[in-house]
Amino acid sequence: MNYLFDSMGLSVREEWRAEVKHYFMLSARMAKVLEAHPLDMTEDLAPVFRP
């Protein structure tokens, strides 16, 4: 994970690295779900983004 932070030019405080890693991995998993089921996900999330 440190390599990833460095390659992206991110500077993360040591005490926050675990949290940042957790949210990064969570967002990566969500992206995979969205890619696998795009229509289902967009229909479920559509009301959230509509005014």
Give the structural domain span for 28. Answer: 2-49
* Number of domains comprising the chain: 1
Q: What distance in Å separates the CA atoms of residue 4 and residue 20, rounded to the nearest whole number? A: 12
Classify 50 in phi/psi space as left (phi over 0), alpha (psi -120 to 50) or beta.
Answer: beta
> What was the pLDDT predicted at 8?
81
Each residue's pLDDT tens digit, 1-51 = 777 778 888 888 889 888 988 988 888 888 888 788 777 767 777 777 766
Q: What distance in Å separates the CA atoms of residue 39 and residue 45, rounded to the nearest whole number? A: 10
- For residue 33, give both structure tokens: 């779900």
> What was the pLDDT predicted at 51?
63
